[in-house]
């Protein structure tokens, strides 16, 4: 009786072991694609990338191409239209000095009206969208001379910063940062890594602030 029941159980156990083994095999197979995707990124890196790029979907392929740096002079990058632009290395983590500096200047001088990370507010437009169409010359003209939409209620005014050295001496920095936001190259996160401040930037800053 005892022997019989053991014998009866044995095939069951074997079947169970087989079933478990095949489930594990299926699970291993299922896990493969995910593992393969992050093959070159350690799990911690992948988590960090997600954290750094919460709006990866905002990336604009056309603008990423248009605003791509094709030339560098003394640590300052230019796109194919000859306008200042951003440059990112190290898997999208390391920004050029001007984009980084622009991030800081923006959050000192512009964010009160235009919202954090150039996302806009009820008072002023989202510059991450404006910079999809505004040229370098237009941008400099607007921040120097201001802007008032006459078709609106007339109460929302973009002040003229022409006399404000804390803005005008960093106009290219602001423009570079906002371009990176417009194309989606820079996520809504403070840049953690940056290139060294170029000697040319130090010199230009000194002359602009002092002159
Ligand atoms: C006191 C609030 C205020 C501040 C501070 C401010 N802006 Fe503005 N800005 C506005 C308003 C309001 C408009 C929209 C004006 C209009 O209706 O034409 C505007 C418009 C603009 C535009 C044109 C946008 C478009 O889509 O046409 C640019 C570019 C701009 N601002 C850049 C800046 C930058 C760069 C800074 C920081 C140096 C800044 N602004 C600081 C209020 C502000």
Letter string b/e over residues 61-75, b meaning 16 or more CB atoms within 10 A of that residue's CB: eebeebbebeeeeeb
Q: What is the mean pLDDT of the chain?
A: 81
pLDDT for the residue 40: 41
CA of 82 to the centre of ligand 1 (A): 24
Q: How far is CA 135 from CA 1, 66, 96, 141, in A?
A: 91, 12, 20, 10
* Residue pLDDT, tens place only, 107-128: 999 999 999 999 999 999 999 9
* Residue pLDDT, tens place only, 127-137: 999 999 999 99
Q: How far is CA 109 from CA 61, 74, 105, 114, 192, in A?
A: 29, 26, 6, 10, 20
Q: Which atom of ligand 1 is nearest to the CA of 175?
A: 35
CA of 68 to the centre of ligand 1 (A): 25
Q: Which atom of ligand 1 is nearest to the CA of 123?
A: 12
Looking at the chain, the whole-number percentage of residues with pLDDT higher than 90 is: 64
pLDDT for the residue 151: 60
Which residue's CA is the nearest one to ligand 1's atom 6? Answer: 110
* pLDDT mean over 181-186: 95
- Tokens of residue 89, six digits: 């290395």
Which residue's CA is the nearest one to ligand 1's atom 3? Answer: 113
**Which DSSP string corresponds to 133-178?**
T--HHHHHHHHHH-EE-TTS-S--EE---TT-HHHHTTHHHHHHHH
Q: Which helix (H) or strand (E) holds 20?
A: helix 2-37
Give residues (CB < 6 A) around ligand 1: 109-110, 112-114, 123-125, 127, 130, 134, 139, 142-143, 147-149, 152, 156-159, 161, 167, 174
Residue 108: CA atoms inside 13 Å, Cβ hemisphere, count? 13
Please give the Cα distance from 142 to 131 (Å, whole number).
12
pLDDT for the residue 189: 87
If one counts every other C-beta atom within 10 angstroms of the C-beta of residue 92, the result is: 15
Q: pTM of the entire structure?
A: 0.78
Q: How far is CA 81 from CA 6, 137, 146, in A?
A: 82, 12, 24
Please give the Cα distance from 89 to 69 (Å, whole number).
11
């Amino acid at each position: 009786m005892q022997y019989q029941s053991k014998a009866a159980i044995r095939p069951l156990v074997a079947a169970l072991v087989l079933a478990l083994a095949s489930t594990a095999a299926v699970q291993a197979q299922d896990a493969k694609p995910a593992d393969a995707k992050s093959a070159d990124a350690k799990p911690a890196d992948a988590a960090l990338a997600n954290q750094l790029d919460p709006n990866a979907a905002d990336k604009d392929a056309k603008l990423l191409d248009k605003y791509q740096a094709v030339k560098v002079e003394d640590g300052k990058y230019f796109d194919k239209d000859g306008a200042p632009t951003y440059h990112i290395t190290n898997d999208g983590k390391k920004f050029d000095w001007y984009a980084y500096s622009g991030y800081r200047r923006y959050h000192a001088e512009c964010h009160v009206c235009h919202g954090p990370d150039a996302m806009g507010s009820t008072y002023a437009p989202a510059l991450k969208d404006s910079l999809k169409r505004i040229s370098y010359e237009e941008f400099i003209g607007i921040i120097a001379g201001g802007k008032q939409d006459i078709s609106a209620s007339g109460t929302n005014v973009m002040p003229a910063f022409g006399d404000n050295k804390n803005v005008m001496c960093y106009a290219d920095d602001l423009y570079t940062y906002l371009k990176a936001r417009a194309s989606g190259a820079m996520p809504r996160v403070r840049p953690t890594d940056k290139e060294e401040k170029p000697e040319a930037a130090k010199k230009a800053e000194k002359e602009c602030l002092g002159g």
